[in-house]
Amino acid sequence: MNSAFLTVGEVSELTRMSVRTLHHYDEIGLLVPSERTEAGYRLYTPGDLERLRRVLTFRDLGFPLAEIARLLDAGPDAVREALSLQAALLQEQLARAQARLEAVTSLLDAHQGEGVTMSKEEIRQIFSSFDHTEYEAEVQERWGNTEAYRQSAERMKGYTPADLERMKAEGAELHARYAALLDAGVPADSPQAAQVAEAHRAYFHQWFYDCTPELLRTVSGAWVNDPRFTRNIDQVRGGLAAYEYAAVQAWAERQK
């Protein structure tokens, strides 16, 4: 065997990636080893390792595997556009992390000494972005008898404050991803927007209720038909509610 070739076990040891992950990358066409032994075992060349380095670089930047596969074979313009979008997303995440840090710092300051409390304005600022009670009565009236509502209510009872914070952060990240695409002029029916719409369905499915594409399509109607939903979403970016609605509609239509 050529000494320039590495087995999957050797690549796993050198890169600290599991053999299972390397096999998966091969199966989905992301990193297909250039050579094989007569017995069919994978052999990796220096060029394969360079491709793996690029894969891991994009993965660390938060790109999904399907997008990484596209970028590895795309021209420099496509890579530049994708990196610009990701930079905008990371800026949004940084701003949200800074806001959360300031909120936590306020809480820490409030507990520094006995009897020290936050002012009403500080409390209002910390809770300003929470809107989980705004529609509770209306939701109960309109959807209280649905399976989705029952699932959501049951799941919410089991969530810890940390769970709720994570749920909020993931929701904000979805809005940021949509906003980055909107700012870059990416059409709502584009493959990039479809990826975010699929992530949106997965978000609802994980946190609230079993969410099918058709159910998300129905839910998204409130984002543009109810001024309150529109106003809340558009706080992130003007026109974002309409963009998210259009992205979900286009994606859901293709799922048929």
Q: 11-21 pLDDT, tens per residue?
A: 999 988 889 98
CATH 1.10.490.50, the chain: domain bounds = 76-255
For the domain spanning 6-72, the CATH number is: 1.10.1660.10
Q: Which residues partner with 43 through β-bridges?
A: 7, 35
What's the confidence (pLDDT) of residue 139? Answer: 45
Angstrom distance (rounded) from CA 244 to CA 5 = 47
Q: 163-209 pLDDT, tens per residue?
A: 888 888 888 889 999 999 988 889 999 999 999 999 999 998 888 88
One CATH from 1.10.3720.10, 1.10.490.50, 1.20.1530.20, 3.40.640.10 for 76-255: 1.10.490.50
Question: In sequence order, which residues have a C-beta less than 8 Å from that of residue 241 and are 6 or more positions away?
Answer: 223, 224, 229, 230, 233, 234
